[in-house]
Amino acid sequence: MKKWITGALAILLGVMSIAVPFSGMHIVEAKTTEETDRKLNIVTTIFPEYDWTRNILGNREADVNLTMLLDNGTDLHSFQPAVKDIMKVSSCDLLIYVGGESDQWIEDALESAQNKDMKTINLMEVLGDTIKEEETVEGMQDSEHEHGHEDEHAHEGEDEKEYDEHVWTSMRNASVICDAIAETLEEMDPENKEIYQTNAENYKAKLSTLDQKYQETVDTDRQNTLIFADRFAFRYLVDDYGLNYYAAFSGCSAESEASFKTVTFLAGKLDELGIKTVLTIEKSDDRIAQTVIENTKKKDQKILELNSMQSITSDEIKNGVTYLSVMEDNLKVLKEALK
């Protein structure tokens, strides 16, 4: 699906390798005159990384150029990098990215990065063995047909594993990642090491408090199963609290139309388990959820939305949206869904 991006990157990076030497004199001169006041240039790909980093920076954020690439509502799976995005990645001091299949373009860009001293934080590498393979649960629509026959032949005989990229939906993962961010900032800016350590510990305490609220909700509510008439991006969250789920599509699926079999299966589970809510993700079309409800016996289930933070915009950030505020709102939804 992203083959064209790799080809385009090869061309763009080739152009960059030619262009940079010609512009190099200007860049060196600028650094010479401003070297002592130069700000650290940090690029993050998605909102959770951005918000964790600014909390760890604290009042040091004013002394850093902190950028979020996906800031216009485009989600990770459909993002198509522009030249300016590749340039930002290529020239930054610190890059924080998810590291899954959707970030292949970043891996390509890093091979020809202008800043050879750049540090990177790959979330999936930080989490190591705790990352989870993409799974297809009972009733979930198979999306294998998304890959063309050419891909099928190319991968024939290979044992390729697909991993769930949505690691940020777990606050326990977030805590581990915050440690990695703080440690990297300490290496890059040792004079402010104590600030980063303190800010990280304070933020992790907030994560822990909210994590406990989630656990208490799951422990006290009647239901323990969620029904998603949508893509399912919350594998890490449900696994943290031992919840079950059924969903129309996997988290990385590009599908938008559910089959009759999928719809009737989800409707049957709502009837069988007496579940009163159907979940969707943010900025999603409710048509599948409505169709599922229409195929139940009672036809009176509510449609609720869990925010996977895949498409938070810069305007939402300006209006005060934070990782913790989204997870607080998700907790309210979860309480309603588990009644």
pLDDT tens, residue by residue, 14-42? 544 444 443 333 333 334 444 446 799 99
Say yes or no: 121 and 197 in one domain: yes
Q: What is the pLDDT of residue 11?
A: 47
Determine the distance from the C-alpha atom of residue 142 to the mean position of all C-alpha atoms in its chain, rounded to a whole number.
22
Q: What percent of the chain has pLDDT over 70?
A: 82
Supply 152's token pair: 């099928």
Hey, how many other C-beta atoms are within 10 angstroms of the C-beta on 299? 10
β-partners of residue 250 are: 232
Question: Has residue 94 been placed in a domain?
Answer: yes
Q: Using 50, 70 and 90 to split pLDDT, how confident is the model at 253?
A: low
Say yes or no: 273 and 127 in one domain: no
Question: Has residue 70 been placed in a domain?
Answer: yes
Supply 298's token pair: 């009672």
Question: Has residue 230 been placed in a domain?
Answer: yes
Q: What is the pLDDT of residue 78?
A: 84
Contact of 231 with 281, CB cutoff 8 Å: yes
Say yes or no: 65 and 112 in one domain: yes
Round to whole Å and give the CA distance between 309 and 326: 8
Phi-psi group of 223: left, alpha or beta (phi > 0 → left; psi -120 to 50 → alpha; rest → beta): beta
How confident is the prediction for the chain on average, in pLDDT? Answer: 86
Contact of 180 with 162, CB cutoff 8 Å: no
Question: Has residue 50 been placed in a domain?
Answer: yes
| Residue 123 belongs to domain spanning | 40-134+163-205
Contact of 5 with 81, CB cutoff 8 Å: yes
Contact of 287 with 309, CB cutoff 8 Å: no
Least confident of 37-46, 122-131, 203-212, 321-330: 37-46
Q: What is the pLDDT of residue 37?
A: 60
Say yes or no: 268 and 177 in one domain: no
Question: Has residue 99 been placed in a domain?
Answer: yes
Per-residue pLDDT for 232 more than 70?
yes
Say yes or no: 255 and 193 in one domain: no
Round to whole Å and give the CA distance between 178 and 165: 17
Query: Residue 92's domain is classified under what CATH number?
Result: 3.40.50.1980
Question: What does the DSSP assignment read for 6-60?
Answer: HHHHHHHHHHHHHHHHHHHHHHHHHHHHHGGGPPEEEEESSHHHHHHHHHHHGGG
Q: What is the pTM of this model?
A: 0.86
Q: What is the pLDDT of residue 172?
A: 99
Kindly state the average pLDDT of the residues 62-88. Answer: 92
What Å distances lie between residue 112 and 40, 66, 109, CA to CA?
Answer: 20, 22, 6
Among 205, 237, 264, the domain boundary falls at: 205
Kindly state the average pLDDT of the residues 98-113. Answer: 90
Hey, how many other C-beta atoms are within 10 angstroms of the C-beta on 23? 10
Residue type, 33: T
pLDDT tens, residue by residue, 148-188? 333 443 444 445 788 999 999 999 999 999 999 999 999 99
- At residue 77, φ and ψ (nearest 5 deg) are -80, -20
Q: Using 50, 70 and 90 to split pLDDT, how confident is the model at 257?
A: confident
Question: Has residue 252 been placed in a domain?
Answer: yes
Supply 150's token pair: 């050419």
Q: Using 50, 70 and 90 to split pLDDT, how confident is the model at 254?
A: low
Q: What percent of the chain has pLDDT over 90?
A: 71
Supply 15's token pair: 């152009």
Per-residue pLDDT for 270 more than 80?
yes
Q: Using 50, 70 and 90 to split pLDDT, how confident is the model at 77?
A: confident
Q: What is the pLDDT of residue 116?
A: 87
Kindly state the average pLDDT of the residues 196-201. Answer: 99
Least confident of 22-26, 90-94, 316-320: 22-26
Question: What does the DSSP assignment read for 154-185?
Answer: HTTT-----B---GGG-HHHHHHHHHHHHHHH
Say yes or no: 175 and 249 in one domain: no
Question: Has residue 201 been placed in a domain?
Answer: yes
pLDDT tens, residue by residue, 38-58? 799 999 999 999 999 999 999
> Look-up: residue for tokens 């090869």?
10
Number of structural domains the chain divides into: 2
Contact of 305 with 279, CB cutoff 8 Å: yes
Nearest to 267 by CA among 300, 241, 234, 310: 300
Q: What is the pLDDT of residue 159?
A: 54
Q: What is the pLDDT of residue 20?
A: 41
Q: What is the pLDDT of residue 49?
A: 99
Per-residue pLDDT for 224 more than 80?
yes
Question: Has residue 316 been placed in a domain?
Answer: no
Say yes or no: 116 and 187 in one domain: yes
Beta strands in the chain (DSSP E): 40-44, 64-68, 94-97, 119-122, 225-232, 244-250, 277-281, 302-306
Per-residue pLDDT for 258 more than 70?
yes
Round to whole Å and give the CA distance between 188 and 89: 17
